[in-house]
Amino acid sequence: MPSEQKSSKAFKPSSLHSLRVLIGYVEVMKSNDECLREKMVLTRIGLAGLAVMGQNLALNIAEKGFPISVYNRTTSKVDETVERAKAEGDLPLYGFHDPKSFVLSIQKPRVIIMLVKAGAPVDQTIETLSVHMEEGDCIIDGGNEWYENTERREKAMVERGLLYLGMGVSGGEEGARHGPSLMPGGSYEAYKNIEDILLKVAAQVPDSGPCVTYIGKGGSGNFVKMVHNGIEYGDMQLIAEAYDVLKSVGKLSNDELQRVFSEWNRGELLSFLIEITADIFGIKDDKADGYLVDKVLDKTGMKGTGKWTVQQAADLSVAAPTIAASLDSRFLSGLKDERVEAAKVFKSGGFSDVLSEQSVDKEKLIEEVRQALYASKICSYAQGMNLIRAKSIEKGWDLKLGELARIWKGGCIIRAIFLDRIKKAYDRNAELSNLLVDPEFAKEIIDRQAAWRRVVCLAINAGISTPGMSASLAYFDTYRRGSVPANLVQAQRDYFGAHTYERTDMPGSFHTEWFKIAQQSKN
């Protein structure tokens, strides 16, 4: 097949491949005929689930020289993928309409990547495929799955003699096609079976190599991808706030915004998200006058990973206010009708006049918003890294934070030049408690904090919400203080709930009859 047949096609019962599948089946049934085994021609890997991400990843694998079998429950998707493979260079991709032929077409130990919707569809696909698999074969879930589901499935597969990986795949359809960031976690043996494929398929960064590494045990790959997505939520929110301040307070046009973001993308903010933001501002509406971005409804969708990240932060007692603020902002954006009515209610309160009263130096505002955005990003990434670190300690995963920053430098949605600084920070100190106290990041925060504060104050005075920037600033201001008002909160807890407290001047746990003492002092 891959070595003898150059054209890509979906195989049908009458095809030559059916004979080879039959030969393969005979071999699976333990035939001792070595001659038959020599005649077998099998693919290197399989992929099940041919929606946008699955199709593009399959074509990427084939383009890198690895013959691949593909399968989808909806057979038209198989044919569509085969046609794409033919059109995009006669790639060694082979389609199958039934799961048995699909599985038996892959060389041993078989490796199959699934790219299907998280939850029940994953379990259903595993059941469909695993009945045809043998001991030592491997299944890889490449979707955005809850990490505990991956750990459950890995244990179940071990009982069947199968290997299992949960692999985060980031980069969207373009990344999947031309080089994603890959985050595989689970069976190390399974990872080594396909390491050669992943190293070539992943995004390639000249100074740091392929954007893939073995993440760790269990569901670590899915967990890291989940937090990556949470950081992505924060990044997108911060960029949206920068846009809002520049547009609403600075009165920048879309042409000016495109120029500003393009310029930012040549400096310390250079990143995929800044790049595409600049592109968005330049797109004219093809259905009406004006720019398309102004016609997009201000309701943000989500698929759950940001919510999971915030929930995990709460469970692990890790502060992640910037990511939480971005999630809250998505929730509030969904209340479009309520917000429209609220705008009418509060218009009489003079809120609509606040912006018209603002007079700003446009170029100064642009520079200060740039600095505020960068400083806020540092805090957001610090929160995400601390969350990964806390989970790694809890689960014994021994995750390497610097290595995670390295594999995020290319392919993924949050790829940015900024990540190189994060990698170097962890290279300097692998046990770094927080990115904020890395000497280089600390200096960058100090240099930008005045502009950051001015932007947040300006936005507040203009009635423009900047929850992400404000949350990042509050996180920084709390973290940098040796004393915070938590002493009063703890005293309140002891007052009404006898929760006890510690003292600053002596060891031990204490409880005070606050109510009795207060009453005595009033008499």
Binding residues for NADP(+): 49-54, 72-74, 116-118, 144
Residue 303 has pLDDT above 90, yes or no: no
Rounded to the nearest integer, the mean pLDDT of the chain is 90
Considering the domain architecture, whether residues 75 and 147 belong to the same structural domain is answered as: yes
**Spatial contact of 395 and 464, defined as CB atoms under 8 Å apart:** no
Q: What is the pLDDT of residues 391-414, one digit of tens each?
A: 999 999 999 999 999 999 998 888
Considering the domain architecture, whether residues 378 and 322 belong to the same structural domain is answered as: yes
Q: Is residue 26 included in any domain, yes or no?
A: no
Q: Tell me what pLDDT residue 41 has.
A: 73
Catalytic residue list contains 9 = no
Considering the domain architecture, whether residues 399 and 502 belong to the same structural domain is answered as: no
Catalytic residue list contains 241 = no
Q: Is residue 270 included in any domain, yes or no?
A: yes
Considering the domain architecture, whether residues 429 and 300 belong to the same structural domain is answered as: yes
Considering the domain architecture, whether residues 326 and 454 belong to the same structural domain is answered as: yes
Identified catalytic residue from 27, 232, 241, 444: 232
Q: Write the single-letter amino acid at 55.
A: Q
Q: What is the pTM of this model?
A: 0.88
Q: What is the pLDDT of residues 192-245, one digit of tens each?
A: 999 999 999 999 999 889 999 999 999 999 999 999 999 999 999 999 999 999
Identified catalytic residue from 77, 217, 225, 307: 225
Confidence of residue 19 (pLDDT cuts 50, 70, 90): very low
Residue 39 has pLDDT above 90, yes or no: no
Arithmetic mean of pLDDT, 423-437: 95
Q: Tell me what pLDDT residue 430 has.
A: 92
Q: Tell me what pLDDT residue 354 has.
A: 58
Arithmetic mean of pLDDT, 311-335: 96
Residue 6 has pLDDT above 60, yes or no: no
Residue 8 has pLDDT above 80, yes or no: no
Considering the domain architecture, whether residues 257 and 142 belong to the same structural domain is answered as: no
pLDDT above 70: percentage of residues in the chain: 90
Domain count within the chain: 3
Considering the domain architecture, whether residues 149 and 286 belong to the same structural domain is answered as: no
Q: Is residue 416 included in any domain, yes or no?
A: yes
Q: Write the single-letter amino acid at 279.
A: D
Q: What is the pLDDT of residues 128-147, one digit of tens each?
A: 999 999 999 999 999 989 99
**Which CATH number fits the domain that encloses residue 492?**
1.20.5.320
Q: Which of 387, 390, 385 is nearest to 402 (CA)?
A: 385
**Which CATH number fits the domain that encloses residue 73?**
3.40.50.720
Considering the domain architecture, whether residues 159 and 237 belong to the same structural domain is answered as: no
Considering the domain architecture, whether residues 193 and 251 belong to the same structural domain is answered as: no
Q: Is residue 12 included in any domain, yes or no?
A: no
Q: Is residue 29 included in any domain, yes or no?
A: no
CB atoms within 10 A of CB 357: 9
Considering the domain architecture, whether residues 345 and 435 belong to the same structural domain is answered as: yes
Q: Is residue 21 included in any domain, yes or no?
A: no
Arithmetic mean of pLDDT, 382-396: 97
Considering the domain architecture, whether residues 231 and 178 belong to the same structural domain is answered as: no
Give the span between the Cα atoms of 277 and 124, in whole angstroms.
38
Binding residues: 49-54, 72-74, 116-118, 144, 170-172, 228-229, 233, 303, 330, 493, 499
Residue 22 has pLDDT above 70, yes or no: no
**Spatial contact of 85 and 63, defined as CB atoms under 8 Å apart:** no
Considering the domain architecture, whether residues 144 and 260 belong to the same structural domain is answered as: no
Range of the structural domain that residue 108 is part of: 45-214
Q: State which of 180, 214, 248 marks the end of a domain.
A: 214
Grouping H, G, I as helix, E, B as strand and the rest as coil, residue 433 is: coil
Q: Is residue 23 included in any domain, yes or no?
A: no
**Spatial contact of 70 and 78, defined as CB atoms under 8 Å apart:** yes
Q: State which of 166, 184, 214 marks the end of a domain.
A: 214
Q: Is residue 3 included in any domain, yes or no?
A: no
Q: What is the pLDDT of residues 159-181, one digit of tens each?
A: 999 999 999 999 989 999 999 99
Confidence of residue 381 (pLDDT cuts 50, 70, 90): very high
Half-sphere exposure (Cβ direction) of 472: Cα atoms closer than 13 Å: 32
